[in-house]
A = this chain, B = another copy of it.
Amino acid sequence: MSENPHASPVEPVDPAAGTPEQAAVVDLLGLLALGELTGFARLAADSDAAPTLTARAALGRHACREFGHYELLAERLRALGVEAAAAMAPFEPVLARFHERTLPATWAERLVKAHVGDSIATDFYREVAAYVDDDTRDLVLQVLDRGSAEDAGSVEGFLVSAIREAIATDPASSGRLALYGRRLVGEALAQAQQAVVERDALATLLVGGVPGRSADLAEVGRMFTRMTEAHTQRLANLGLAS
């Protein structure tokens, strides 16, 4: 991979020759970048399936915001001397498996998937921010800043009110939606764990090997527990007991 002389003034990293910490950051950014690129594609497809032109525009806006996050992550990877495509490639099977196993069957399920997917991404970003270098943390926190569920202009605000509306229109669907929401978080955590198992560098970052920065195995377990609890609370807020 050739070095770009016009890249931002960051020490370029040869991924093959980098330290375990550098390789871990590349892995992490690659996973997050592919997550954003995939999120963009899912939200764009949701936009195309939306029942009204207003919802179509709102979901399109959110899709492009995710794409903007992808661009930020890809730029950071380039500054580290790594092409985004190369950093993302190892995670394609994991993301593809998640999406194949959680195909939404209805408009309400699409909304729940977008909401849960986005929330889990947010939680994951917040958790991993603790384990990375300062520049990467700044970027992660910038991507994280995506508005709250109470802000109607944010993706979460839009999704939460659209889900509430779908449940109000068809209260009988809430049990099935809650089940689907639980399956989503189960698959997401299973695939995240799979990614950690398959990628040594990522595991190193999260379970040890980088003094002062890494989490131990018990801490990773607590992280997944916190994410599950947050998810349960969010579904309950929507009137979906999981």
> What number of copies of this chain does the assembly contain?
2
Q: Say yes or no: B45 contacts A60, CB within 8 Å.
A: no
Q: Mark A54-80, 1 if CB is under 8 A from B, else 0.
A: 101100110110011011001000000
Q: From the candidates B48, B68, B85, name the one contacting A57 in the complex (CB within 8 A).
A: B85
Q: Which residue of B lies closest to A86 (CB)?
A: B53
| CA–CA, A85 and B74, complex, Å | 34
Stretch from A3-11, A36-44, A138-146 forming part of the interface with B: A36-44
Give the interface size bracket for A toward B: 20 to 34
Tell me whether A60 and B88 are in contact in the complex, defined as CB-CB below 8 angstroms, given that A45-B45, A45-B48 are known contacts.
no
A to B CB contacts below 8 Å, 25 in the list: A34-B53, A37-B57, A40-B44, A40-B60, A40-B64, A41-B44, A41-B48, A41-B56, A44-B45, A44-B47, A44-B63, A45-B48, A52-B85, A53-B85, A53-B88, A53-B92, A57-B85, A60-B67, A61-B71, A63-B63, A63-B64, A63-B67, A64-B64, A64-B67, A64-B68
Which residues of A come within 8 Å of B, CB atoms? 34, 37, 40-41, 44-45, 47-48, 52-54, 56-57, 60-61, 63-64, 67-68, 70-71, 74, 83-85, 88-89, 92
